[in-house]
């Protein structure tokens, strides 16, 4: 399992896995790839043997009679049996839970409405009353981007955010996904969650984030040394320095928690300065370790459609929510 | 058979008659608006190879943006139009999407299908069944002359103010309906291309059923002919729904209908009241994939047909499990109509529908495995000639195996949750169609080149072409599986914009450099192709010592093909029959003499 298991970092293999159902998906991916490798390796040995053994040469002729033997049938049957096992034992049960087992009310799920538009994710929280306030497209504005009707009593404790999503860990989350203009697809790679958002449809999904997978915890495990000689700015553009870096004169090149430049030119410059200061590696961690992205082509800026995901313990989440509601109501009072 | 034979002799007579006047045909009737299946086949081959090169070139530009996001494209950056690049020569998002949509469209609809069916099918199939031409020569000519305008319309869309279509080759509405850009041109082009395919497929079916020579029963047909026959049925039955859907989408764009448009759309915060609503974006996906999944087999079956011919010829023994191959191809064709929704697992599909489509998807893997098994068992006890066509054919086998195997995690809903719409998908289908089908096409070009020109291609240049293509094509597509695992999504203008994408950025560099080197690796082929056509070594009618009927015709075959009407005395792959002087027993006894 270790061979294919994701660790807590991003790289050239599966991203970190932080949801309760995700291990089963990774397990299936693992089983399938072991199967493929075994089959391909077996074929490869036979294939290579044939290429050498049966090459045309003087004194060697092909045989007309077809080779007999049950091995190929046996392998074919074995492949079919394997596929059926994978299908019925490893794929369908996971999918059935993913699709047919919404969290029960007794589990106190958090429901979030996710609205998607070119090129934003909007998150609508219903607040402690558990009731979503009415929305109306006519009310959409730069400050009220989902068009929430503040006159609706249910709206009082509702919160809305653009490209910024807070979720509690260890508590079931139910998202209802809407699209306003074209098809989008909500993808949270670290949660093994993906669901298209289709105009005219309201599509629910649910998942639970592992209890200890708070952003703070995850960040700690993601500190990584990058060799400066082989690292391009593109590779580390979402990373921040894990410590202060100074040049030989003692001036700060990059402070702990700062990004290494905000474009290619400034990034290159900082990387060069770090090398000039005698560093061979640089210790970095992702600035925002968890993202929600769009998986379905939705226009020219499709790639920019991403939201930061911040995971908090259930208590921290409640505190954050209460704070945000307080903030919103003071702002509204100021407005009046 | 007697009916088919009678029809054939009748047609043969007609053509003999035509032929007597053939040399009097003016140039434009002989080479431009020709009704000769061989000229049409060559027209299709040359046109589609040019489209393939163009579609490949679009990818060189896209791969630059992926490797070096936001940097100006060297050399050609500033020459591209304002719909593609900014003033500094950096590819813009719309340009990237246009190139992406057109790469897919061109490779599939203007490159591989016309090459595999219009090129190889047209040229080889009538010869392999001993026919003097296709059943409907004028329909055949029309098919090409509908295809070409379709292709030119697609190309022309690059030169319109807003550029070419930008909604992916899948053209999902509402995006495709509301997008600026050449989507209208794309839809009109598609109507032409689909019509062309339909005209061709009817012709292939009738020709195969009606024009086989005496003695050539169905189970004596070369596997290539079977593959083309099944392919034609797929084209005939799967394309009409897409043609209808394309017209419906066109109406949504230009005539204010709402076939695929739900009500209440809000675009850039403005309510779109011009759409009456009530349509379903998912309906388009069903109609599109109802074509596009059989289309996958349209892309691969003719390739398998070519591989069968090349393997039998170069192993010098009969194909193992010929009947199993034929039944598998038919079963594959049938099954390909009932797997389409596995492309749509993430649309919100529930367990009922997905259970059916997962199951059929697992079932369809069985005939593919049988076909591959037959090919590799055919190697046992062979006497393998490592000719250039055979090198491409042998490479096809493991490459197609990788393409097929990596379909498994995508066909199962649970693993598809993570891998859907990632580079894993891109790697998977490219392994099937690039080192799969395109290698098969190369095998076919090297194999039948002597028949078409009377000259053989250079073996040395061919081997250089094969070696570097094989290395670099894996360099392009193998990293994509890892990128897909890492979660990099397809159709991203800048993969490094997202954290997981940035972390796997090194693989993008590897794929890009491999893609450019793969381009260079095609130079020996291009030189070889043109040099050999005019100055290659002259060879006889049957340089590969092959058995099937096309090799008993003169090289190149004249209008009407055969000097005398051939007959078929045996099955297609009678190699190394015991007790004979030569190691091949031709289907046409005349070839032995």
Q: Tell me: do A315 and A169 sit in the same domain.
A: yes
pLDDT in tens, A173-201: 999 999 999 999 999 999 999 999 999 99
**From A29, A64, A297, residue closest to B409, measured CB to CB:** A29
Q: Does some domain include residue B276?
A: no
Q: Does some domain include residue B460?
A: yes
Tokens of B147: 């295809």
What are the beta bridge partners of residue A135? A148
What pLDDT, on the 0 to 100 scale, is given for residue B15? 44
Q: Determine the distance in angstroms separating the CA of B266 from the nearest CA of chain A, rounded to an integer.
A: 5
Chain A (97-156) residues lying within 8 Å, Cβ to Cβ, of chain B: 98-100, 117-118, 137-138, 140
Count the alpha carbons within 13 Å of B462 in the hemisphere toward its beta carbon. Answer: 23
Task: Give the angle subtended at the CA of A131 by the CAs of A129 and A135, to the nearest 5°.
Answer: 135
What's the rounded Cα separation, in Å, for the pair B358 and B339?
Answer: 8
Domain tally, chain A:
3
What's the rounded Cα separation, in Å, for the pair B1 and B217?
Answer: 7
Q: Out of A100, A119, A146, pick the residue that ends a domain.
A: A100
Q: B383, A304: Cβ pair inside 8 Å?
A: no
Helices first, then strands: H and E counts in chain A? 7, 15
Q: Does some domain include residue B317?
A: yes
Q: Does some domain include residue A7?
A: no
Q: Out of A51, A77, A100, pick the residue that ends a domain.
A: A100
Count the alpha carbons within 13 Å of B204 in the hemisphere toward its beta carbon. Answer: 33
Mutate to test the interface with B, among A114, A198, A239 (most CBs of B within 10 A): A198
Domain range for B516: 2-262+285-591
Q: Tell me: do A310 and A208 sit in the same domain.
A: yes
Give just the sign of the alpha carbon dihedral B257, B260, B263, B268.
negative
Tokens of A38: 């075994």
Q: Determine the distance in angstroms separating the CA of A329 from the nearest CA of chain B, rounded to an integer.
A: 25
B513 touches A: beta carbon within 8 Å:
no
Please say if the pLDDT value at position B20 is more than 50.
Answer: no
Confidence category of residue A7, pLDDT binned at 50, 70, 90: low
What pLDDT, on the 0 to 100 scale, is given for residue A336? 53
- State which residue of chain A sits closest to B363, comparing Cα positions: A80
Q: Does some domain include residue B298?
A: yes
The pLDDT of B221-226, averaged and rounded, is 98
Q: Tell me: do A111 and A60 sit in the same domain.
A: no
Q: Which residues contact B120 (CB under 8 A, 6 or more apart)?
A: B41, B45, B224, B228, B302, B306, B441, B444, B448
A252 touches B: beta carbon within 8 Å:
no
Q: Determine the distance in angstroms separating the CA of B91 from the nearest CA of chain A, rounded to an integer.
A: 11
Q: Does some domain include residue A266?
A: yes
Q: Does some domain include residue A180?
A: yes
**From A25, A67, A80, residue closest to B377, measured CB to CB:** A67
Please say if the pLDDT value at position A130 is more than 60.
Answer: yes
Q: Out of A39, A65, A100, pick the residue that ends a domain.
A: A100
Tokens of A102: 């919404």
Domain tally, chain B:
1
Q: Does some domain include residue A1?
A: no
Cβ-based contacts of A28 with chain B (< 8 Å): 409, 412, 414-415
For B233-300, the three-class secondary structure string (H helix, E strand, C coil) is HHHHHHHHHHHHHHHHHHHHHHCCCCCCCCCCCEECCEECCCCCCCCCHHHHHHHHHHHHHHHHHHHH
What's the rounded Cα separation, in Å, for the pair B461 and B466?
Answer: 9
Q: Does some domain include residue B342?
A: yes
The pLDDT of A13-18, averaged and rounded, is 94
Confidence category of residue B531, pLDDT binned at 50, 70, 90: very high
Confidence category of residue B217, pLDDT binned at 50, 70, 90: very high
Q: Tell me: do A144 and A59 sit in the same domain.
A: no
Tokens of A186: 């909500």
What's the rounded Cα separation, in Å, for the pair B440 and B395?
Answer: 9
B180 touches A: beta carbon within 8 Å:
no
Q: Tell me: do A173 and A265 sit in the same domain.
A: no
A43 touches B: beta carbon within 8 Å:
yes
How many other C-beta atoms can be found within 10 angstroms of the C-beta atom of residue B564? 9
Q: Tell me: do A299 and A198 sit in the same domain.
A: yes
Q: Tell me: do A114 and A201 sit in the same domain.
A: yes
Cβ-based contacts of B277 with chain A (< 8 Å): 200
What pLDDT, on the 0 to 100 scale, is given for residue B265? 93
Q: Tell me: do A55 and A79 sit in the same domain.
A: yes
Q: Tell me: do A91 and A237 sit in the same domain.
A: no
CATH code, domain carrying B484: 1.20.210.10
Q: Does some domain include residue A193?
A: yes
B82 touches A: beta carbon within 8 Å:
no
What pLDDT, on the 0 to 100 scale, is given for residue A335? 56
- Whether the CB-CB separation of B179 and B531 falls below 8 Å is answered with no
Q: Tell me: do A329 and A198 sit in the same domain.
A: yes
DSSP code of residue A190 = G
Q: DSSP labels for A209-243? A: B-TT--HHHHHHTT-EEEEGGG--HHHHTTEEESS
Q: DSSP labels for B352-389? A: HHHHHHHHHHHHHHHHHHHHHHHHHHTTTT--B---HH
What's the rounded Cα separation, in Å, for the pair A323 and B134?
Answer: 78
What's the rounded Cα separation, in Å, for the pair B48 and A80?
Answer: 38
- Whether the CB-CB separation of B134 and B71 falls below 8 Å is answered with no
Tokens of A139: 């009310």
CA dihedral A160, A163, A164, A165 (to 10 degrees): 80
Helix ranges restricted to H, B31-159: 37-67, 93-105, 113, 122-128, 137-156
Please say if the pLDDT value at position B9 is more than 50.
Answer: no
Please say if the pLDDT value at position B10 is more than 50.
Answer: no
Confidence category of residue B268, pLDDT binned at 50, 70, 90: confident
Whole-angstrom Cα Rg for chain B: 24
Please say if the pLDDT value at position B403 is more than 80.
Answer: yes
Domain range for A83: 22-100
pLDDT in tens, A224-267: 999 999 899 999 999 999 999 999 999 999 999 999 999 999 99
What's the rounded Cα separation, in Å, for the pair A129 and A155?
Answer: 9
DSSP code of residue B211 = -
**From A12, A28, A192, residue closest to B412, measured CB to CB:** A28
Q: Does some domain include residue A307?
A: yes
Q: Does some domain include residue B61?
A: yes
DSSP code of residue B590 = G
Burial label for B145, CB within 10 Å (0-12, 13-18, 19+), is: middle
What pLDDT, on the 0 to 100 scale, is given for residue B19? 46
Q: What percent of chain A has pLDDT over 70?
A: 97
Q: Does some domain include residue A251?
A: yes
ipTM comes to: 0.95
DSSP code of residue A293 = E
Chain B (96-125) residues lying within 8 Å, Cβ to Cβ, of chain A: 97
Q: Does some domain include residue B267?
A: no
CATH code, domain carrying A202: 2.60.40.420
Q: Does some domain include residue B278?
A: no
Determine the 3-state secondary structure of B57 from DSSP.
helix
Q: What percent of chain B has pLDDT over 90?
A: 89
Reference B258, options B233, B277, B245, B244; nearest CA is B277
Q: Tell me: do A198 and A69 sit in the same domain.
A: no
**From A62, A80, A303, residue closest to B492, measured CB to CB:** A303
Q: Which residues contact B577 (CB under 8 A, 6 or more apart)?
A: A64, B583, B585
Reference B466, options B438, B492, B424; nearest CA is B438
| Mean pLDDT, chain A, whole residue set | 93
What pLDDT, on the 0 to 100 scale, is given for residue B275? 85
Q: Tell me: do A195 and A310 sit in the same domain.
A: yes
């Amino acid at each position: 399992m270790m061979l294919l298991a994701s660790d807590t970092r991003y790289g050239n293999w599966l991203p970190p896995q932080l949801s309760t159902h995700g291990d089963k998906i990774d397990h299936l991916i693992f089983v399938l790839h072991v199967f493929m490798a075994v089959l391909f390796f077996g074929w490869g040995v036979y294939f290579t043997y044939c290429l050498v053994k049966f090459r045309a040469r003087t004194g060697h002729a092909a045989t007309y009679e077809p080779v007999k033997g049950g091995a190929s049938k046996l392998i074919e049957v074995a492949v079919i049996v394997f596929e059926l096992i994978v299908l019925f034992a490893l794929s369908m049960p996971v999918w059935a839970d993913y699709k047919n087992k919404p969290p029960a009310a007794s589990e106190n799920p958090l429901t979030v409405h996710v609205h998607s538009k070119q090129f934003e994710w909007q998150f609508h929280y219903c607040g402690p009353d558990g009731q979503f306030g009415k929305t109306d497209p006519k009310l959409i504005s730069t400050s009220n981007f989902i068009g929430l009707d503040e006159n609706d009593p249910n709206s009082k404790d509702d919160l809305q955010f653009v490209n910024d999503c807070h979720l509690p860990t260890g508590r079931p989350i139910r998202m209802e996904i809407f699209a306003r203009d074209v098809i989008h697809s909500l993808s949270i790679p670290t949660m093994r969650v993906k669901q298209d958002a289709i105009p005219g449809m309201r599509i629910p999904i649910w998942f639970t984030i592992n209890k200890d997978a708070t952003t703070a915890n995850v960040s700690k495990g993601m500190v990584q040394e990058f060799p400066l000689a082989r690292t391009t700015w593109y590779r580390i553009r979402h990373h921040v320095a894990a410590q202060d870096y100074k040049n030989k004169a003692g001036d700060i090149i990059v402070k702990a928690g700062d990004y290494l430049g905000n474009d290619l030119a400034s990034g290159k410059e900082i990387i060069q300065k770090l090398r000039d200061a005698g560093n061979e590696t640089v210790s970095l961690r992702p600035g925002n370790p968890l993202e929600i992205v769009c998986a379905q082509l939705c226009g020219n800026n499709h790639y920019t459609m991403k939201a930061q995901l911040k995971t908090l313990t259930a208590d921290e989440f409640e505190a954050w929510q209460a704070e945000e509601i307080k903030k919103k109501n003071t702002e509204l009072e100021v407005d009046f | 058979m007697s009916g088919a034979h009678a029809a054939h002799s009748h047609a043969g007579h007609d053509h003999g008659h035509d032929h007597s006047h053939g040399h009097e045909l003016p140039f434009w009737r002989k080479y431009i608006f020709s009704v000769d299946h061989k000229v049409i086949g060559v027209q299709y081959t040359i046109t589609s190879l040019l489209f393939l090169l163009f579609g490949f070139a679009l990818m060189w530009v896209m791969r630059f943006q992926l490797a070096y996001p936001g940097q100006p494209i060297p050399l050609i950056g500033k020459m591209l139009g304002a719909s593609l690049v900014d003033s500094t020569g950096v590819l813009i998002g719309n340009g990237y999407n246009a190139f992406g949509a057109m790469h897919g469209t061109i490779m599939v609809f203007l490159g591989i299908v016309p090459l595999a069916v219009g090129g190889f099918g047209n040229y080889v199939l009538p010869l392999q069944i001993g026919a003097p031409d296709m059943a409907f020569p004028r329909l055949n000519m029309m098919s090409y002359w509908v295809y070409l305008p379709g292709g030119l319309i697609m190309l022309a869309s690059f030169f319109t103010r807003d550029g070419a279509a930008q909604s992916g080759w899948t053209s999902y509405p509402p995006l495709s309906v509301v997008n600026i850009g050449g989507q209208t041109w794309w839809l009109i082009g598609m109507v032409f291309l689909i019509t062309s395919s339909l005209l061709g497929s009817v012709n292939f079916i009738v020709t195969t059923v009606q024009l086989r020579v005496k003695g050539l029963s169905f189970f004596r047909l070369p596997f290539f002919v079977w593959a083309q026959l099944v392919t034609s049925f797929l084209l005939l039955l799967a394309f009409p729904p897409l043609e209808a859907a394309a017209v419906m989408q066109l109406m949504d764009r230009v005539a204010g209908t709402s076939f695929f448009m739900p009500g209440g759309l809000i675009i850039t915060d403005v309510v779109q009241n011009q759409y009456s609503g009530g349509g379903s974006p998912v309906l388009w996906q069903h109609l599109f994939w109802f074509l596009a999944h059989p289309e996958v087999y349209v892309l691969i079956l003719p390739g398998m047909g070519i591989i069968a011919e090349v393997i039998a010829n170069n192993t010098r023994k009969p194909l193992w499990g010929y009947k199993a191959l034929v039944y598998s191809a038919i079963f594959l064709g049938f099954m390909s109509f009932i797997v389409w929704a596995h492309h749509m697992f993430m649309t919100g599909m529930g367990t009922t529908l997905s259970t059916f489509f997962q199951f059929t998807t697992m079932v369809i893997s069985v005939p593919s495995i049988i076909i591959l098994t037959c090919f590799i068992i055919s190697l046992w006890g062979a006497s393998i000639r490592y000719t250039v066509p055979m090198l491409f054919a042998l490479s096809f086998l493991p490459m197609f195996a990788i393409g097929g195997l990596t379909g498994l995690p995508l066909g199962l809903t649970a693993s598809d949750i993570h891998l859907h719409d990632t580079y894993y998908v891109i790697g998977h289908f490219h392994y099937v169609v690039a080192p799969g089908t395109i290698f098969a096409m190369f095998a076919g070009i090297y194999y039948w080149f002597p028949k078409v020109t009377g000259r053989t291609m250079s073996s040395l240049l061919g081997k250089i072409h094969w070696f570097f293509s094989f290395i670099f094509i894996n360099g392009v597509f193998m990293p994509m599986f890892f990128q897909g695992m890492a979660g990099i999504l397809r159709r991203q203008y800048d993969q490094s914009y997202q954290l997981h994408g940035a972390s796997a950025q090194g693989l993008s560099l590897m794929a890009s450099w491999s893609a450019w080197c793969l381009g260079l690796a095609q130079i020996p082929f291009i030189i070889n192709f043109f040099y050999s056509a005019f100055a290659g070594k002259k060879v006889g009618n049957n340089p590969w010592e092959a058995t099937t009927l096309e090799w008993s015709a003169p090289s190149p075959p004249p209008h009407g093909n055969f000097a005398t009407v051939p007959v078929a005395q045996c099955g297609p792959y009678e190699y190394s029959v015991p007790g004979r002087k030569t190691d091949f027993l031709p289907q046409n006894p005349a070839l032995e003499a």
